[in-house]
Chains A and B, each alone.
Chain A
């Protein structure tokens, strides 16, 4: 469905894009002839295992056209390797450089730019506010955006004659697929596969480490304890909690996900009832400074001070650059960070 809508949009904008899109569709139909029902029926199959984005033949030589399906299920065709890449998120910036590429435009950020080489690139804003004038001057071949980019901005970017590719990072799986997607676009499939292998190795190591142990039950609060937004399994931090060896308390309440968001306010009475083993706070700002405030806030409030996690001081601040926005290749660090605490908690519980 979504693909159809996007195609119509292209058609309305420019006929050239329409031709490309039509080619893509034709390609998709022939390429999936074996299991056509599957692809056509589900449209965007987000849950597909890694490596499934590429629609065209896998072993395409560098000169051949490559069509990729991005993280919002949109198909984009590159007739050659894009040389002028502009990136709107830190995660994708990191990935592009890890894959051996460079960018002409990078996200605007208050944090230090990673990697350093990208510092000199033009700043083009962020997903929440794109600097269209700078983009128009840069004339990139492709803009890599994250799935949060607004429809209006997307249309504006496409109207500049630039291809738009969406990545996403709401789960470890999406992080991996985003890396593979960029690898395919840059014809660096092997390097991308290597990076994904590293993540998989970390996941396997955690799984081995946790085998035979009771997985601690954790609760992830987003932003500020004053507003009690709880990370659901559909959010990045919720997924990381599960992948790092913990059990997300929010998963006990399927009703939470009906709200459709990635965070929801869990009733205070239910938090007391579920009495988690550990409580995490995804916070912006310096984690060490926030840690002290977090502990004070939780132990000073009689509503929480009798929770097991608070009494036994199993509170941890999760830095937002790893747990809120897409961490990209640094997802390994995020898993390590959280798993260390979970392993300690598991040891204490035994």
Chain B
């Protein structure tokens, strides 16, 4: 299981490339194109990149093992977190009562807590985690930038501005907050993409126009918060990201979009793998680069927009879960994407359960706990393994 030195020579090139999005695409990607070309064309990629260059033969077996274990372990971890989430909460429900409540014959308050709070909330947490993690995976690949997350292209700032305008200025419209946040996220990404378009949208232009749009929307948001500073208290938990008081209504709201997004994500695996090679190589392979990029960004936006519309601005999952998954299974999206998805669900459900039960009677926004639990684990992996960027190793 050791994550140690089996990815020797490819790592530096990949890192360098990841830090210099777009600009260095031709140079760095051609360096690794020899090994990645076969990886991309293999499609199903069961053999993975390991077979391509003989030097990786031995380590390839180790990774194949880890992939198999991770593919089984990640859903199991998610299931364990869900079980923990269903049995734990601020109000302690004894096991027997829990069973009765599940069967619909228990104490009415317990039944209410289990059926209308814990079950929908665990489901929402899992979906939100999946959506954000997959969105992060796709964007880190498309942008070829290890710092990419749904916030980079404007999802968080757009959703945040829309939600704040309603919550602070037009409180009479408050049932529309999720819809407005979703629309704000999509709108901000649309603007970012349009501005990056110049006969095509390169990864670097996307990142830069995302930075500019984020700054602009951020300034408007800050201005509103300052002008209405006595009302800010009411929106803080939403800005940090939390699932307090979410129930079936919110699950129903997000489910159709999440299902469509997750289904599309399955079709994103192949183009995402090809896009990792960089624009030039992908074009040489005859791949429709612009169409793929648009498709991947659109899927990521749909997923991230769905998540933030219900959970508020949860930042951490989309950035870090993909890195953790990549350290374990490598960059082939056929493994990387599902492991990230289940990992995101696991982390979000775990953190949300902690956020709503460890500090009883106070409930913390899950965004705080996510970073609190996730960051140390991430740092541990970072020191132990070494981060790979969105480049196939």
Cβ of A268 < 8 Å from any Cβ of B? Answer: yes
Stretch from A194-202, A279-287, A330-338 forming part of the interface with B = A279-287
B236's partner among A128, A227, A293, A325 (CB-CB below 8 A) is A227
Among A226, A255, A302, point to the contact of B362 (Cβ < 8 A): A255
B382 at the interface (CB under 8 A from A): no
Which residues of A193-222 are within 8 A (CB) of B? 222
Q: Does A134 contact B (CB under 8 A)?
A: no
A325 and B361 CA atoms in complex are apart in Å by 26
- Inter-chain contact A225/B249, CB cutoff 8 Å: no
Q: Does B201 make an interface contact (CB < 8 A)?
A: no
A/B interface sample: 28 pairs, CB < 8 A: A129-B229, A223-B167, A223-B231, A224-B171, A225-B245, A228-B245, A228-B363, A255-B362, A256-B361, A265-B237, A266-B363, A267-B356, A267-B357, A267-B361, A267-B363, A268-B117, A269-B89, A284-B171, A289-B172, A292-B172, A294-B174, A297-B174, A302-B116, A303-B117, A303-B247, A304-B247, A306-B116, A320-B231
Closest to A227 in B: B237
Tell me, in angstroms, the Cα distance from A272 to B175 when the chains sit together. 21
Where the two chains meet, the residues of B that have a C-beta atom closer than 8 Å to any C-beta of A are: 89-91, 109, 112-113, 116-117, 120, 167-175, 177, 226, 228-231, 233-238, 242, 244-250, 356-357, 360-365
Residues of A within 8 A of B (CB): 128-129, 222-229, 253, 255-256, 259, 263-270, 272-273, 275, 283-286, 289-290, 292-294, 296-297, 300-304, 306, 320, 324-325
A284 CA to B245 CA in the complex, in Å?
Answer: 21
Cβ distance A275 to chain B, nearest Cβ, rounded Å: 7
A224 touching B174 in the complex, CB below 8 Å, given contacts A265-B244, A284-B168, A302-B248:
yes
Tell me the nearest residue of chain A to B356, going by C-beta: A267
CB pair A293–B89 under 8 Å, yes or no, is no
**Interface pair A303/B362, CB less than 8 Å apart:** no
Residues of A within 8 A of B112 (CB): 272, 306
- Give the CA-CA distance A306 to B233 in the complex, in Å: 27
> Taking each of B117, B229, B357, B361, which has the highest tally of chain A beta carbons within 10 Å of its own beta carbon?
B361
Q: Which 4 A-B pairs have the closest CB atoms?
A: A223-B234, A303-B247, A267-B90, A289-B172
How many Å lie between the Cα of A134 and that of B90 in the bound state?
Answer: 51
Task: For the complex, give the distance between the alpha carbons of A288 and B228 in Å.
Answer: 20
Partner of B233, one of A223, A226, A292, A297: A223
Residue of B nearest to A292 (CB): B172
Which among B174, B236, B356 is the interface contact of A225 at CB below 8 angstroms? B174
Chain B: minimal CB distance from A76 (Å): 25
Q: Which residues of B contact A296 (CB under 8 A)?
A: 175
Query: In the bound complex, do residue A303 and residue B245 qualify as a contact, i.e. CB atoms below 8 Å apart?
Result: yes
User: Assuming A222-B233, A229-B237, A285-B171, is B247 touching A302 (CB within 8 A)?
Assistant: yes
Contact B117 A269 (CB under 8 A): yes
Inter-chain contacts of A228 with B (CB < 8 A): 237, 244-245, 363
Q: How far is the CA of A269 from the CA of B91 in the complex (A)?
A: 6
New contact pairs (13) apart from A129-B229, A226-B167, A226-B174, CB-CB < 8 Å: A128-B226, A223-B233, A223-B235, A224-B234, A226-B238, A226-B245, A228-B237, A228-B363, A265-B365, A267-B361, A269-B356, A286-B172, A290-B172
Q: When the two chains form their complex, are residues A324 and B230 in contact, meaning their CB atoms are under 8 A apart?
A: yes
- Enumerate chain B residues within 8 angstroms of A320, measured Cβ to Cβ: 230-231
State the Cβ distance, A297 to closest chain B Cβ, in Å.
5
> Would you give the shortest CB distance from B223 to chain A, in whole angstroms?
12
With A227-B237, A303-B246 already in contact, the answer to whether A265 and B230 are too (CB < 8 A) is no
CB neighbours of B170 from chain A (8 A): 285
Min CB distance B137 to A, Å, is 29
Residues in A whose Cβ lies below 8 Å from that of B177: 224, 226
| Cβ–Cβ < 8 Å partners of A225 in chain B | 174, 245
A259 and B237 alpha carbons, distance in the complex (Å): 15
Asked, given contacts A267-B356, A267-B363, whether A272 binds B238 with beta carbons under 8 Å apart, the answer is: no
A128 and B244 contacting across the interface, CB-CB below 8 Å? no
**Residue of A267, A272, A293 touching B109 (CB-CB under 8 A):** A272
Whether A263 contacts B172 in the complex (CB less than 8 A), given A270-B360, A302-B120, A303-B245, comes out as no
Which of B233, B242, B245, B362 is close to A301, meaning CB atoms less than 8 Å apart?
B245
Inter-chain contact B171/A268, CB cutoff 8 Å: no
Are A268 and B230 touching (Cβ within 8 A)?
Answer: no
Q: Which residues of A contact B246 (CB under 8 A)?
A: 303
Contacts of A223 in B (CB 8 A): 167, 171, 231, 233-235
* A54-B171 Cα distance, complex, nearest whole Å: 42
Compute how far the CA of A297 lies from the CA of B247 in the bound complex, rounded to whole angstroms. Answer: 12
Interface pair A269/B230, CB less than 8 Å apart: no
CA distance A289 to B90 in the complex (A): 34
Contacts of B174 in A (CB 8 A): 224-226, 290, 293-294, 297
**Given the complex, which residues of B lie within 8 Å of A268, measured CB to CB?**
90, 117, 244-245, 356, 363
- B contact residues around A255 at 8 Å (CB): 360-362
- Tell me, in angstroms, the Cα distance from A289 to B228 when the chains sit together: 19
Chain A residues lying within 8 Å of B236, measured Cβ to Cβ, are 227
Query: Taking the nearest CB of chain B, how far is it from the CB of A152, in angstroms?
Result: 15
Rounded to whole angstroms, the CA-CA distance of A264 and B127 in the bound complex is 27
Contact assessment for B234 and A300 in the assembled complex, using a CB-CB cutoff below 8 Å: no
User: Which interface residue of A222, A256, A272, A290 has the most chain B CB atoms within 10 A?
Assistant: A272
A324 vs B175: C-alpha distance when bound (angstroms): 22
Known: A268-B117, A268-B245. A227 touches B238 (CB 8 A): yes
Q: How far is the CA of A293 from the CA of B357 in the complex (A)?
A: 29
How distant is B247 from chain A, measured CB to nearest CB, in Å? 4
Of the listed residues B89, B228, B246, B362, the one surrounded by the most CB atoms of chain A closer than 10 A to its CB is B362
With A223-B234, A229-B237, A265-B365 already in contact, the answer to whether A273 and B109 are too (CB < 8 A) is: yes
* Alpha-carbon gap, A284 to B235, bound state (A): 13
**Cβ distance B198 to chain A, nearest Cβ, rounded Å:** 39
Most buried by A among B113, B175, B235, B245: B245
**Distance between A336 CB and nearest chain B CB, rounded to angstroms:** 23
